[in-house]
Amino acid sequence: MLTERHLEIFVALAEEEHFGAAAQRVGITQPPLSQGLRRLEALLGVRLFDRSQGVALTEEGALLLPHARAALASLTELRAAGAREQAGGRRIRLGLAPEVPRWLVADLAAAPARAGVGSRIGVATEPTATLLSQIAKGRLDVAVTVHPAVLDGLSAGPVTLFPTWILSPAGHTAGRSRQLPFAVRPREESPAAYDLFIDALASRGRRVETVVVPDERAGLALVAAGQTVLVTADHTLTGAGVERREATDPALPLRLRVVWDDRGLGAREAAEAARLLMETLTRKAAQ
């Protein structure tokens, strides 16, 4: 197997052009250096040095040299980055479902850093199904997702409910608004939560029609144009030609849940970040 030591020996010998000087440079004696070079040549299947007149690179050796230098430089930078990461605190990778209201995002992102859990934080906004997959693959540490969802063994906190508002075109009565389709995100983003939302509407005897939108801004635009109704937990979302009323009949709360994986590397930090996020959700829901 090609190792970093093989590359160090090769680069030192290429630059020093002397076995004794190269051995001293890498901190070994000459016999292990010669043995390491022979192993490297055997691994690559080429001769790297011409020893007939001193120590000179062969054509194959000259081709390898810049790549070997680049590989060693990359390994050095990787170690330095790891040291900086350790000195500065672990980076917490946070995922947020797009349904999380804008006014809540800043509090959630700041919660781990305020408590000293990770001095840096990376934030990704993805559908709930994607967030759960990313956590399972170790690409995210913790996420705020929409409930319900299939967790497949991931850890999860309690479900926190946030009130929602129905946005409808100005001048539409509640009865007329019921005839308009609901602007919704694609079902595949969070199938269980989508079905629960549709079932809640249908339980009041409503004929449920939907229009798929990429985000709430697009939904708001259709509401203002008199084409749809939108349910949102963002109390700041409004606009010209839009009326708001609280969604109480039926109740359509936004259900958020913190999810993490306590089985992999960084599980302790992920669990602590999850605890802080859960506290933030509880506090904000009570305001």
Average pLDDT rounded to a whole number, residues 125-129: 95
Both 113 and 149 in a single domain?
yes
Q: Torsion over CA of 135, 141, 142 and 148, rounded to 10 degrees? A: 10
Same domain, 12 and 55: yes
Residues 55 and 10 in one domain: yes
Report the 10 Å Cβ neighbour count for 87.
Answer: 8
pLDDT tens for each residue of 92-113 = 899 999 999 999 999 999 888 7
Higher pLDDT, 231 or 53: 231
CB proximity list for 247: less than 8 A, separation 6 or greater:
163, 164, 165, 166, 231, 253
Where does a domain end: 70, 87, 104? 87
Confidence at 265, pLDDT banded by 50, 70, 90: low
pLDDT of residue 105: 93
Question: In the chain, what percentage of residues exceed pLDDT 70?
Answer: 91
216 in helix, strand or coil? helix
Is residue 95 within 8 A of residue 134, CB to CB? The reply is yes
Nearest Cα residue to 166 out of 201, 121, 192, 133? 201
259 in the same domain as 246:
no
Looking at residue 112, what is its pLDDT?
82
Distance CA 34, CA 14 (A): 13
pLDDT tens digits for range 56-73: 899 999 999 999 999 988
Do residues 48 and 19 share a domain? yes
Q: Specify whether 107 is located in the same domain as 142.
A: yes
Strand 182-184 relative to strand 229-232, pairing: parallel
Q: For position 86, what pLDDT does the model report? A: 53
Considering the domain architecture, whether residues 131 and 260 belong to the same structural domain is answered as yes
Identify whether residues 272 and 130 lie together within a single domain: yes
pLDDT given at position 121 = 83
The number of distinct structural domains making up the chain is 3
- Where b means 16+ CB within 10 Å and e means fewer, 71-81 reads eeeeeeeeeee
Determine contact, residues 275/177, Cβ cutoff 8 Å: no
| pLDDT range class, residue 90, cuts 50, 70, 90 | low
Among 45, 64, 87, the domain-final residue is 87
CB 180 within 8 A of CB 227: yes
Q: What is the mean pLDDT of the chain?
A: 88
pLDDT over 60 (residue 88): no
The whole-number pLDDT of residue 51 equals: 83
CATH of the domain at 144: 3.40.190.10
- Rounded (5°) CA angle 172-174-177: 60
**Beta-ladder partners of 243:** 168
Q: Please check the confidence at residue 174 and state whether its pLDDT lies above 70.
A: no
Give the confidence band of 87 by pLDDT, cuts at 50, 70, 90.
Answer: very low
Q: Dump pLDDT digits (tens) for 191-200.
A: 999 999 999 9
**Cα separations (Å) of 137 from 10, 59, 166?**
37, 44, 36
Q: What's the confidence (pLDDT) of residue 287?
A: 87
Categorize the per-residue pLDDT at 253 as very low, low, confident or very high, splitting at 50, 70 and 90: very high
Is the pLDDT at 166 greater than 60? The verdict is: yes
CATH number for position 70: 1.10.10.10
Distance CA 277, CA 192 (A): 23
φ, ψ (nearest 5 deg) of residue 87: -70, -35
- pLDDT for the residue 115: 58
206 and 95 both lie in a single domain: no
CA 32 to chain centre: 45
Domain span at residue 13? 4-87
Higher per-residue pLDDT: 199 or 53: 199
Domain boundary among 57, 87, 117: 87
250/147 Cα distance (integer angstroms) = 18
pLDDT at 207: 78
Q: What is the pTM of this model?
A: 0.68
Question: 229 with 166: CB under 8 angstroms?
Answer: yes
Residue predicted with more confidence, 271 or 76:
271
What mean pLDDT comes out for the span 163-181?
A: 79
